[in-house]
Homo-oligomer: A and B are copies of this chain.
Amino acid sequence: MHSLVIDRFSSYDARFALGPGEGSDAVHSSPQYSFAVTRLYSARGLTATGLTLTLGAGNDVVCRVIDLLAPQIVGRDIEELMAGFAVTFRAIADHHQLRWLGPHKGPVHLALASIANACFDFWAKVRGVPLWRLLLELEPRQLLALLDLSYLEDVLTETDALEILQSHRPNRASREQILKTGYPGYDTSVGWFHYNDEEIREKARRSLEQGFRAFKLKVGAPDSNHDFRRARALRDFLGAEACIMLDANQQWTLPQATRVCRELACISPYWIEEPTHPDDVLAHQILAREIAPIPLAVGEHIPNRVVFKNYLQTGSAGFVQVDCTRVGGVSEFLTVSLLARKFGVPVVPHVGDMGQIHQHLVLFNHVAIGHPVVFLEHIPHLRQWFVYPAQVREGVYETPQEPGSSSDLNERC
């Protein structure tokens, strides 16, 4: 196998128009999906793409931070870089001046996500394999060398992580079946906040026809009767077997959340997502106990492994929605996945990448470390902009075969 050097980089501020109501929730009323893109180039013409999501305003700010941080990887041989990526990850995350702007959260961490994701895309392309295959072919110690486990020592040492990776190797074969059948998806796009009742029913009908069996509805309206009525209507339409996930996008205070979640319990939600402020670990702990057995799903706005650790330690996360465009990229995603595995909590990513990278990562999580197959969020609004948009058929993500992380954007962007 030959290697390649990262010859140069550029950042790119890519913003996309959405249709009416698309992407809307109780808190983010009018998002403009945008990617702060890191592009890496080899002298031989290979290009790679790293993504992080923003909602429009401020996307340029993340690009600016990419410009400040990415010089650290220029001139590096990709195999040499990835053989000890944890060291580079930490050097970028702990930049002695930019660290002040976080640490490990906000635009600096988003920029790190974009850069790290570009490195993984570059690496997989150099090896000529899809990202999921690259990750599955790594030895446990090679995987470990990608991961910054600092500040996790009290719950996940290097030895613990290695043990998880090694213990799941002997019985991989049964789980590799997923590579052939594909990973099931769920449909977020039936229930955006600003869709009216008719739109929701129409979208749900089409989604059912397309083979989906799990659906998300945005809640968090000023009047909880509105939430209740819509949730009830969706349950009635979809039937008892469908999974319905309710997502409040942080809108509720703890007292509100406790009250409204109890009201919503009667439609048997599969989970309730982001009920209140994402920094409020203790509020989630209290709420999780109050509304058990309905699990909470959290992670879209959990910025790093340390906060995930606290969520897991308190038992408040029923589902871990870590997003590799939100934490510091693919490697921190893997770190959080190991952490969640240690605690026995399933990972169901939030897809700031529209599922493009995460379709690889959920395959790794299942095959390599035995995470259960749940389903992967599907949001189709940007598919026209990808060179290799995720192929979802009969509600199932087909396993991508092209080299890389499926992140390349087409030239019209």
Contacts and interface: CB of A to CB of B under 8 A. Distances in A.
A254 B280 CA distance: 21
B106 A253 contact: no
A83 to B, nearest CB: 24
Contacts of A413: none
A283 B151 CA distance: 9
B55 A61 contact: no
B103 A278 contact: yes
A101 B309 contact: no
A97 B32 contact: yes
A284 to B, nearest CB: 10
Contact of A57 (B97, B253, B306): B97
A254 B96 contact: no
Which A-B residue pairs are the 4 nearest by beta carbons?
A106-B106, A57-B97, A56-B97, A55-B100
A362 to B, nearest CB: 23
A383 interface: no
A224 interface: no
Nearest to A307: B279
Interface stretch (A22-30, A169-177, A210-218, A366-374): A22-30
Interface in A69-107: 94-107
By secondary structure, the A interface counts as loop
A91 to B, nearest CB: 12
Interface string A260-304: 000000000000000011111111001000000000000001011
Count of chain copies: 2
Given A29-B96, A105-B279, 7 more contacts: A27-B94, A55-B99, A101-B110, A102-B106, A103-B301, A105-B303, A153-B255
Nearest to A150: B253
Nearest to A304: B279
Interface string A24-66: 0001111110000000000000000000011111101110110
Nearest to A28: B96
B106 A28 contact: no
Interface string A297-319: 00001011011011001100000
Contact of A101 (B98, B106, B253, B313): B106
Interface of A: 27-32, 53-58, 60-62, 64-65, 68, 94-108, 110, 150-151, 153-154, 250, 253-255, 276-283, 286, 301, 303-304, 306-307, 309-310, 313-314
A282 B107 CA distance: 25
Nearest to A152: B253
B255 A154 contact: yes
Contacts of A99: 27-28, 55
Contacts of A307: 279
Nearest to A24: B96
A100 B28 contact: yes
Contacts of A282: 281, 309-310, 313-314
Contacts of A103: 250, 277-278, 301
B101 A107 contact: yes
